[in-house]
Chain A
Amino acid sequence: MRMAGRLARRPVVWVGAIFLALTFGMGGLAPHLGFLFRAGTRLVYTRASFPELVASHALLTGAASLIAIAIGLAAALFATRPAGRAYAATLDRLGALAQTFPPVAVLALAVPSLGYGALPTGFALVLYGVLPVMGAGMAGLRSVPAAVLEAADGTGFSPGTRLWRIELPLAAPILLAGVRTSVTIGIGTATIGSTVGALTLGSPIIDGLSGDNPAFVLQGTVLVALFAVTVDLAIGEAQRALPQRPN
């Protein structure tokens, strides 16, 4: 009973609960929001249900995030191994350069080769998601003290065991902070994918903007924001669960 009480006080639980309630309740709630808008505004978004939009949005950002994390982590590992250390600065610059393209421009340029829909959106999300993971991965791996690495080598760790048992656990807190940034940015950025036909929570926003319907814009925006905050808080919980050493 008390444990349940303590759980309920965690922000991730109640923000997540509001997010889920609105996802499934928006269809029922929308018709009653007429007082907020100009008379005659269409209040119920009909192109897809909100659970459908959330599922599609989650699938797209989830897949893109996984790919971005894999690429970012691989790049960070490569840049901190003896063979790749010379390329670290180049990778840093490449990642920073990727972030300077405006997302809308990336989408516009990707459409001719990748077509419309989820694919160009996923591509843009991966492009933006890699940098925070790569940067945090490099920072985390570099934060492992030189003495610890020398002791690991001197006691007879193989390079793989050293990475797995010593370097990654010690880099984890910083690495996870990068993952948190990457995923939350991705959830927000994915909305733009609806300009090229991807089904996301951006769809009501884009349709609302082009059809002069503030009700749709509001509904989409509230859900995207709640989604991003929920995921951000959930990763924060994972960070807290990590062993607190070294402090």
Chain B
Amino acid sequence: MIRFEGICKSFGGARAVNDVTLDVARGSLCALVGTSGSGKSTLLRLANRLLEADEGSIRFDGADVTNIPPVELRRRMGYVIQSVGLFPHWTVERNIATVPRLLGWPSARIDQRVAELLDLVGLPPGLHARRYPDELSGGQQQRVGVARALAGEPELLLMDEPFGAVDPPTRRGLQDSLMAIQKRTGTTILLVTHDVEEAIRLGGTLAVLDQGRLLQTGTPAQVLAQPATDAVARFFGGPLLGLNRLKALRVGDRAHAGAPSPGEGEPIDAEATLEAALARMVAEGRSRLPVRRLANGAPGVLDLADLVRP
């Protein structure tokens, strides 16, 4: 869907992005992760030409982005930022309708799309459509921000630390909504985050950046099992990296077949993270949990020893 090739970008002599090559497949979610100053936001802003690359090329759906006028390009990509940036003088409805109006859709289609999106992001239309942004909570504002970004049916959604400004429970709710939305719409998502938990939780491809260089790409499980460099290991927790690895793996990845014996407690879901399983073992004082259903449909068990198996 979008491919960065040999991208370099400097600001006043300092290299913000240094020779990055990255391919984001159609329908996938790619999380650009790294500490501040790693160049992840710069890379994102190069995609929709809010910035222009010094070297290298970016291909969007096969076409070089420098051949697409910026305004047209941005209407084909959704854009969500941490500070949301809703237009304060417009209602929720009008904010969401921004891109469809710019694209000149007929008003019946716009109304239908707005209603669809309010539902998609989990805001009841009757309650929120006519409100102004300052009447919404931070989490609700970002839901509207996501709806606005998706309104023009973009092929690619760019998100710059979209959930960084909301409290943790709200953030998890928004992350769940985002995963559900992607499942339903199949939109390709390129997302910037410095939050390790978020990067692991969203579960797409990770692209780890440090000082402008792309250090490693892979699934959370791959990256956490074999961090390519010390910097990657440090970013994912240093000495605590092992704990984060438990967040990236599911019970089903490690459980083995076996009949649970009575008195082993409530069975755990195969889709639960190993972190959740460990938490239950600690809380309940057990070293074994029954597993509800493995991939083959049979019941299984998870031993404490399974967690530390290489």
Contacts and interface: CB of A to CB of B under 8 A. Distances in A.
Given A151-B79, A246-B134, A157 B85 contact: no
B102 A170 contact: no
Interface string B76-93: 000101011111110000
B134 A169 contact: no
A154 B87 contact: no
Which of the listed residues B71, B73, B84 has the most CB atoms from chain A within 10 Å of its own CB?
Answer: B71
B231 interface: no
Contact of B88 (A146, A150, A155, A246): A246
Interface residues of A, number: 22
Nearest to B98: A155
Contacts of B149: 155
B128 interface: no
Nearest to A145: B85
A169 B99 contact: no
A157 B81 contact: no
A146 B297 CA distance: 53
B167 interface: no
A146 B82 CA distance: 12
A210 interface: no
A243 B72 CA distance: 31
Contacts of A158: 71
B3 interface: no
Which of the listed residues A145, A147, A153, A243 has the most CB atoms from chain B within 10 Å of its own CB?
Answer: A153
Interface of B: 48, 50, 70-75, 79, 81, 83-89, 98-99, 102, 132, 134, 145, 148-149, 158
Interface of A: 145-158, 161, 166, 169-170, 243, 245-247
11 contacts: A147-B83, A147-B85, A148-B86, A153-B74, A154-B50, A154-B158, A155-B74, A155-B79, A155-B99, A166-B87, A247-B134
Which 9 interchain pairs have the tightest Cβ spacing?
A: A151-B85, A154-B79, A156-B74, A147-B83, A147-B85, A156-B75, A246-B88, A245-B89, A148-B85
